[in-house]
Each structure stands twice: as C-alpha cells, then as structure tokens.
Structure 1
Amino acid sequence: MSAINSVTQLRTDGNVGVISINFPPVNALSAAVRDGIHGAMQAALQEPAIEAIVLICEGSTFIAGADITEFGKPPAGASLGEVQRIVEESAKPVVAAIHGTALGGGLEVALVCHWRIAVPSARLGLPEVNIGLLPGAGGTQRLPRIVGVEKALEMMTSGSPVKAAEALEIGLIDELAPEGGLQAAAVALARRVVAEKRPLRKVREQNDKVLAARGQPALFEKFRSANARKFRGLAAPEKIIQCVEAAVNLPIDEGLQLERKLFLELMQGPQSAALRYYFFASRQAWQVPGLPKDTPILPVETVGILGAGTMGAGIAMNFLNAGIPVHIVETRQEALDRGLATIRKNYENTAKKGRLQPEDIEKRMALLTGSLELQQLADVDLVIEAVFENMEVKKDIFKRLDQTCKAGAILASNTSALDLNEIASATTRPESVIGLHFFSPANVMKLLEVVRGAHTSDSVIATSMQLAKRIGKVAVLVGVCPGFVGNRILAQRQREANALIMEGAMPWAVDRVLYQFGFPMGPFAMSDLAGLDLGWNKEKSSSSTLREVLCEMDRRGQKSGAGFYDYDEKRTAVPSQLVEQTIADFAKKKGYSTREVSDEEILERCIYPMINEGAKILEEGMALRASDIDVVWVNGYGWPIHRGGPMFHGDQVGLDKVLAKMQEFERQLGPQFKPAKLLEELAGSGRKFSDLKPAR
C-alpha cells in the first residue's frame, strides 16, 4: 500500500490495483481528490504487476459530486478533464466501484471508467440542473451514449438520481455487488475482464443509442413541449437539451466543445449564481447562532392537534407520514368526523395517483385518533393549536392547555400573524410555547416558520427545528412580529398590487408581469383560486373594498365561475370587461385618477417594497439572515428559485438602485415607501445583504 496524498491510497490485491479515496464527508472532487486520482493512476499504470484498476471510495459514499466551494476560485491541481483522460485512455481496464451516491462529477468520473459496479443501495445521477448548470465534464455526451437519449434527457433535466437496480436495467452500470462486499466484487470483475481479455469499453465510442435518434428532431421538440411548464424561465434545461442534440448529431469531441461552451455561459450567468446561493442558503437556515450544540432535544413521540379543519387535518398528515401518532381534538363531533374523513380522502387520492400503497393508508390512519375532550391531550409530547385566528380564542385555549398538558410538553400555535408572546402570556410556562406556522395546504407545502417567543427555551427551539426535518419540512426560525417574515412581506406586495389597479393597471397586467418574473401566478389569479369570499360576510358587507364589491356581484373566484377574471368550463381565466368597468367606477368613487402604468413600474412597485420590508425585518432581528428570508419566500410563496429570493434579488439589482427607486416612490406616492435604515446604510456603504452577519 502506498499513500498518493492525504486523501488517496493505492494498494494491490493480486494483479489488481485498488485506488481508494477518503475525503469526508462525501468525497467531493476537490483539488486533493483530483490530484490523488491522477497520481494513483500514474503509479498504477507504471506498475507492471498491476493489470487492472479499481476506483473505490471510503466512508459513506462514492464521489458525490464537485466541490461546490471551489466554484469561482482559480483552478488548482489536476483538472477534472486531466483526471478523466488518464482514466479513459488507460491501457489497463478501470472499474468504478460505487456505493452511496455517484452524482455530478462523481458519475462523470465513473462514466470514463471502462466498467461500473454498484451495491443495490447506491444512487447515480447528474443533478447539476439544480444549481443552474449542466453536466460540464462530458456527462451530456456520455450519458445518452449509455442509457439512450430519452432517459438521459429525463435524468439531466430533472436532476433526479436513479437507484442501482434501474441503473443496471438501463445500462448505466454493468453489475450489482452485494452490500458490504463491493470491493471484493469489483476486484473479481476486474480479474474477469483481464482473464477473458475483454476489449476496453469506452463510453465515448458507444454510438448505437445516439445514432438511433439521429434525424428525429421531433423527439426533442416533444420533450420540450411536454416539459414547457416545468422548465419555464430556466436556462439550464434548454442548454442540456441542446447538448444532447449535439451528442446525437455531432462527433463526441465537437459535442464536448459545445458542452463546455454552454456550461461556461451558465456558470457565468445570473441563474446559476442564484441557484448556488440558494443551495447554501437552504442549508444555513437550519443553523441557529447562539444555540449550543449540546442543547437537549425533547422527545416527541405523540402529537396532539386542536382543530380538525383544513389546517389541522393537513398538519396531522405530516406527523402520520413520519410514523408519529396523532390525536385530534375538536369541539363538535361533526367537525371531527369531517376532519378525519378529509385525511383519509387525501390519502386515498394519493394512492389513486400511485404514490401510496393501500396498506400504507391503513397504517397511517391507525396512528390517528380523535375526540371532543381536551383532557385526551394530557400526555402528548407536543400539541399544536390550529383554530380560528382570534387572539381571545387562542389565549383561552392556551390557558386550558397549560392546565391540562404534562410538564415538559411543547405548546405550539399555528398562528400566521398574531403575537405569540401574548398567547404565551396565558400560560405559566411561556418557555414551552413556540409558533409552528404551517402553510396551506399543510400536508403539501414545504415551509415551516418556527416562531421563537421572548421566553421560548433553547430546547424547545432545537426540538422544533429537528422535528421539522423529521417531518420533511424546510424550517426557518423567525421572531415575533405581525405576519412574521413571509406574510409581513407579502402584505407589501398585496398593498401595491391593489393600489396599482386603482391607478390604471388592470389585474391581468399585474399578474402577467409577476408571472413573467417567474411566480407561478399573480396575486389576482391567486385570489380567484383561493376564493374572494374568504373572510367575507354577506350580511356585514359594505362595498368598502373592491373585493367586497366583487363578492356582492357573486364574483367569488374560480368556484363561482367569475372573480377578477371570467372562467370557462375548464377554469381558463379570461380578462373581464365587467371587472374593468367595475374597477374604473370604484376607483373614481374613491377619488383616484387613472393613468397608463408601465410593466417596469408594476414590477418595481410590487418587488422593491418587499425587499425594503425584508431590510426592516433584519433591522429588528426578526430573521437571522437575509438568506433565511429568501428560503421563506422560495418555499412558501412561489418566489422563482432561479432568482434566489427577494433579498438576493435586491443585491443583484443593486441596493443603491432599490433605494433610489423607493425614495422616488416615497416622494410621488407617500410614506409607505419610506426606505429602511438598513437599506440606506448598506446602499450608502456599497455593501449587500449577503455581507451581514447572522443575528443571534
């Protein structure tokens, strides 16, 4: 055995040289790893006793991808291309032995090996699209040659890995090895290759599967059309498709040149910068500064939920999915029965789509119980209140929970805007009270705002963050303020959207601009989807808002066939002349003078106040980081991920430009546009939100 460098060793097993990499935690393709593989290959090729080579990794995984921390830094050590060349051009057969994951550059290294073997638990994929890139080390040219064009397109544009069994079926690997016996199986395969004098199998020379697609441009157009909605606004999927077209129609070296050109375009473009930013932001959100690593985690093995409505039922499903028993308490049997039936129906609908087995429905429902007795929650580890958004109601509930629940139980509220500290004041244990703000539908939406009260204990915070991960949520810790982070910022956009239509912009113009920016839908289309009559009372309606006027006209959204838009039988939205006239009449009644409003103004009026409000939230310490605000908005409100989030977008636009526009709006339209002090300070000093240190 000989050490090549600090992370790579070369040892011999009979006539086979075994190159092993040990670079925790995921054996990423750092400069040290690249140098190690290159040096070990040179040594193995020069050793006469070695007739074949196995490339394997120590620890939990094969090479799990590039070292993303090196992106944008000057190149160091052997390049990935040099590593691939010495492997692919080796006169001695090279076998990649894969466990854990072979992702991105890791799979691209495996693809230049002459054979691939993997344990059944391994997963293989090219996920570069998730950070706005394409596989830039030959993946777009080699993968179609081994798995076929359609499968390669699917894998690379989705970024989803395949399991080892499927990899064997599609030809991505050559053999499966027993779990725990990978190295022995890989060495045995290498020996068979030598003994049988098999010719070296270079993927770059396998053209059958790409030639079969040559002369079929319709294949690519069909793929584009089928995925148009999914790929909307994203640059990387289209460039991946272009690269696969090159794999089909060009010699591989020309295809590799195009791949490199398009990879660099993406790498230097704004989308990849945003997606790489978000990659780190989504991981940082789990880190809570000032929270000791040894903070005790409280056991949560049973959960109680107050309220079996839409939110309560959806929240319950998160815990049932994770195998945690749930007891729901309601005040009326009819409401309880309806909530339990809703949960079962949701599971049955999922099963109809093939995403859940029938036996799994019964397994989850068996964990669910319900009653009308609050006393049934006496022994649960966590109780979540999900009742009507009324302070007096919630305080009364928490007072009763305080008297009912065992010592040490976590008392959580799903409030979306109310003062958690006031809610906690109804108890004798405010240290046990926390906000767990789920987003509707709670069984689908990923975001969970974890709201830290003034007295919430470290253990309750740490437990809530860990529990969020356990139930598959993306958690962001926020402070107590009206609307917390997400809804507080949303209020700014909604205010301006509503103001713009009073000034002359039509709802469909506002929706179109925000849709083109990347949101899944605009605010007025969203209102129609949710229902304009949410919170509206016919008896108390006074025609004081446009929404009230529309509800009084029985235009309550999609469900009534008309809202801000008219809808046909397929619920296709059509701009309404009646609504246009209704808005004009209402605006005149309220004293507005209408004018032409440009798309640029619509976008700036809707987006810049959001950025400004985010700055105020940071000033007040209600969010730990600017990036946490972005994680909230990407996961809870449909902010286009390829734009990073509102705070990242502000940094990219330039905070000086955002400030100047806010000052202009303040002069023209009023004090609601007053810039945050933090925005003024950062813009004045040339700094960005990303330069700020996390709050504690």
Structure 2
Amino acid sequence: MAGAQVSMEVGNDGVAIITLSNPPVNDLDVPLIWGLKEKYEEAMKRNDVKAIVMTGDNGKFLGGFDNRVFERVHKTGDLSILPNVSIELLVNVIEDGPKPSVAAIQGHAIGGGLELAMVCHARISTPKAQLGLHELSIGVIPGFGGTQRLPRLVGVEKAVEMMLSSKPITSEEGLELGLIDAIVPSQELLNIARLRALDIAEGRKPLVRSLHMTNKLGPISESREFLNIAKQNAKKTAPNMPQHQACLDTIEEGLVHGGYAGLLKEGEVDSVLVLSDVSKRLVQNILAQRST
C-alpha cells in the first residue's frame, strides 16, 4: 500500500491540482504537510500556474491528524514532531499567497482537513460531505487556525457549538452557514473547482481571506458575553477538560486583538494541551477502541 504523498498536475487552463493521499482514510500526517508545502511553493513560483485547487484522493478530502502522531509526542515529549506551519505555510504561502486556492471537498474534511479547506479562498463540496473540528475530543484545540477562521465563516455561536461538541455538520448545512460556497455532483467537483479558481484569479469572483473576515462576528461585546456564558457552562459540564476553556479563551483573543493574534495564542495553548494528561488519556482511549 502506498504511503502518504502529495501530487500536482498543471492543466492547460493554468490551474494546478494538488492532491493529498494517505490511504486508507486520508488522515493528515507530517509527510502530507511537508509535501503540501513543497507543492504550494512550486506552484506559486511557476509562470504557467494561475490558480490552485486542493483536493484529496479516493473520495475523501482530508481528516484530522493521525492520532499515532500525537501518541509519539506523548511518549517522547518532543513537540517538534508536530509541524508548526499555521503561519509560515497556511497564512504566508497559501492564504496570503499571490495565487488563489479553492478546496474541492468530498467525503469529509475533519480537523486539520477542514482547517486546510478554510485557508483556501473558496470551498466547493459534494453532497453529504462531513465537516467538523474534533480536536477537543482528543484533549487539544484546533492548531491550524480553526479557532479563528471557523467563527469568521459561520459566526461565533455556531463555531463554538461545533468545536465544543466535536460533532461534524453536513456540507448542506455548511452551505447555509457560508462555510461552503457551492455543492456539486462528485463527477463535476474538480471542473467546478477549477472554474471557481480561475474566476477568482481573473477577478470575476472576490478573493476572500477568511482570517480577515469580520462581517459574521457581530459586536465584540455581544460575542464576549456569549463566550463568558459558554465558559461558565463548560466549567459545569466539562470541569476536568481544560481544552474547553482554552478554546474559548483563544477564540476571544482573536475577537479582541484580531485573527493573527488569535493564531499566535492558538499555537501557545496547543503546545501545552498536547502534553497534558487529559490529551494522553483521550488519545490512548481512541487508539485502544480502534485496535479492538
């Protein structure tokens, strides 16, 4: 069975299709991150590339980080195992890069997979795809900008609900919320994504950077009041789960000081949580269940 790999094909239309593959379920892993970085840097330099479509292989976009990666961190205490690319790659190269990106989603975009999709400037999906951020269920918070971009795309209240519950939504609900820009049949996914990427590159559609969106955040005072209530509820319902409070604090940091400041806090908080006993226990439980 082939391991994790990232491929790129550039069409005559000037659109580069970057495909992430990690059989059997397309979980995110360290080699995929470095492969994605390599292909994106190449695409940004090539004169024959106007725009980029990011997609997954075998009918799946991308899942969250392979829990075995977290297990290695827990056993060694070595945080360098987890790539620190939230700003260097996702912001500097992809989101703020000179060429637009469109995520072509099928199957699922979960955890880091959804975070990568939200970095793109548009998201096209097939019907019934699963979209969610599940990181709190393994004792950490989203580490690739999810705490900042999801509230800006769907609103603070819905983003908090999705993150604290770790439950996915369908692409149909994502379309209603503004997380997804269009739903198309699977056989048309890449073609429609290519057209959307070219529309953005050539100015027919706006280039939207989700980290800079503010129209769905509402007044800061109201959002902070909602977050304070959510923190009090979390203390009652999840008193031994520090990731809940940390997630809400990180969202608030971004609301008050801006998305970039929120990304910095996200990274600081996650590096502490990933080494916590709570994260170790939750990851061990999940791996034991899958083994059984």
TM-score normalised per structure 1? 0.39
Aligned residue in 2 for 1:178 = 185
Residue identity opposite 2:215 in structure 1? D
Q: Which amino acid aligns with 1:268?
A: L
Once residues 261 and 43 of structure 1 are traced to their aligned partners in structure 2, the CA distance between those partners, rounded to angstroms, is: 30
Within the candidate set 275, 282, 285, 2:282 is matched to 275
Give the CA deviation at 1:266: 1.3
| Bigger relative contact order (CA 8 A; separation at least 6) | 2
Match of 1:10 among 8, 11, 23: 8
Deviations 1:396-455 (A, max 9, x none): xxxxxxxxxxxxxxxxxxxxxxxxxxxxxxxxxxxxxxxxxxxxxxxxxxxxxxxxxxxx
Contact 1:144–1:247 at 8 Å: present in 2 too? no
1:114 to 118, 121, 137: 121
2:82 corresponds to 1:83: no
Question: What is the match of residue 39 of structure 2?
Answer: 40
Q: Aligned partners of 2:290 and 2:155: how far apart in 1?
A: 34
Q: Cα distance, 1:218 vs. partner?
A: 2.5
Alignment match of 2:172 (pick from 146, 165, 168): 165
**Per-residue Cα deviation, 1:191-219 (whole angstroms, up to 9, x for no partner):** 22234344421111112222x14113331
Q: Is the partner of 1:181 in helix, strand or coil?
A: helix
TM-superposition CA deviations, 1:65-94 (whole Å, max 9, x none) = 112222216536964333313111221110
CA contact (8 A) 2:69 2:81 kept: no
Whole-angstrom CA distance in 2 between matches of 1:6 and 1:254: 32
Q: Report what 2:248 is aligned to.
A: 241
Corresponding residue number in structure 2 for 1:123: 130
**For the residues of structure 2 that align with 1:91 and 1:146, how far apart are their CA atoms?**
22
Match of 1:187 among 183, 186, 194: 194
Q: How far has the Cα of 1:240 moved from its partner? A: 1.1
Alignment gaps of 5+ in structure 1:
286-696
Q: 1:89 to 1:43 in 2, by over 3 A?
A: same
For residues 314-363 of structure 1, the C-alpha deviation after alignment (integer angstroms, 9 at most, x for no partner) is xxxxxxxxxxxxxxxxxxxxxxxxxxxxxxxxxxxxxxxxxxxxxxxxxx
Task: Tell me the equivalent position of 1:215.
Answer: 221
Partner of 1:31: 30
In 2: Cα distance, 1:157 partner to 1:9 partner: 34
Q: Does the CA contact (< 8 Å) of 1:54 and 1:95 recur in 2?
A: yes
- Identity across aligned pairs (percent)? 32
Distance 2:240 2:105 in 1: 35
Note if contact 1:141-1:256 (Cα within 8 Å) is conserved in structure 2.
yes
Instruction: Report Cα offsets for 1:448-499 as digits up to 9, x if no partner.
Output: xxxxxxxxxxxxxxxxxxxxxxxxxxxxxxxxxxxxxxxxxxxxxxxxxxxx
Counterpart of 1:52, as a letter, is: A
SS where residue 215 of structure 1 aligns? helix
Deviation string, structure 1 residues 556-613 (Cα, Å, up to 9, x no partner): xxxxxxxxxxxxxxxxxxxxxxxxxxxxxxxxxxxxxxxxxxxxxxxxxxxxxxxxxx
Residues 1:103 and 2:110 are matched in the alignment: yes
Is residue 101–residue 120 contact of structure 2 (8 Å, CA) maintained in 1?
Answer: yes
Counterpart CA distance in 2 for 1:227 and 1:6 is 37
Letter in 2 for 1:262: V
C-alpha separation in 1, matches of 2:4 and 2:23 = 12
Change (3 A) 1:140 1:279: same
Aligned pairs (5 A) from 1:451-600: none
1:634-677 per-residue CA deviation (whole Å, 9 max, x = no partner) reads xxxxxxxxxxxxxxxxxxxxxxxxxxxxxxxxxxxxxxxxxxxx
How many Å apart are 1:31 and its aligned residue? 2.2
Larger radius of gyration: 1
| DSSP-derived class of the 1:97 partner | strand
Would you say the 8 A contact 1:37–1:83 is kept in 2?
no
Q: Following superposition of structure 1 onto structure 2, how do residues 228-267 of structure 1 map, counting pairs within 5 Å?
A: 229-267=236-274
RMSD of the TM alignment (CA)? 2.0
Q: Cα 1:6–1:253, aligned 2, differ >3 Å: closer, same or farther? A: closer
1:223-260 CA distance string (max 9 Å, x none): 34455543232211111111121122112222222222
Matched residues, number: 280
Q: Secondary structure at the match of 1:91?
A: coil
Pair 1:102–1:45, CA change in 2 (3 A): same
CA distance in 1, matches of 2:81, 2:288: 26
Deviation at 1:104, TM superposition (A): 0.9
Note if contact 1:38-1:78 (Cα within 8 Å) is conserved in structure 2: no
Tell me how far apart the structure 1 counterparts of residues 226 and 178 of structure 2 sit (CA, whole Å).
Answer: 21
Q: CA deviation at 1:54?
A: 0.2
- Give, in whole Å, the separation in 2 of the partners of 1:57 and 1:194: 22
Residue of structure 2 equivalent to 1:290? none
Which amino acid in the other structure matches residue 52 of structure 2? Answer: I
What is the CA distance between 1:144 and its match in structure 2? 0.8
The residue number in structure 1 matching 2:20 is 21
Letter in structure 2 aligned against 1:186 = A
- Rate the CA distance shift 1:65–1:6 in 2: closer, same or farther, 3 A: closer
User: What SS does the corresponding residue of 2:221 show, helix, strand or coil?
Assistant: coil
Q: Which runs of 5+ in 2 are unaligned?
A: none
* Secondary structure of the corresponding residue to residue 220 of structure 2: coil
Mapped partners of 2:170, 2:244: distance in 1? 22
Residue in structure 2 matched with residue 614 of structure 1 by the alignment: none
TM-score (normalizing by structure 2): 0.89
Equivalent residue letter for 1:23: N
Cα distance in 1 for residues equivalent to 2:274 and 2:174? 28
Which digits, 9 at most, give the CA deviation of each residue in 1:34-71, with x for residues without a partner?
12111111121122121110001111311101122222
Q: What is the CA–CA distance in structure 2 between the aligned matches of 1:187 and 1:79, rounded to whole Å?
A: 29
CA distance in 2 between counterparts of 1:227 and 1:31 reads: 32
Residue identity matched to 2:90: Q
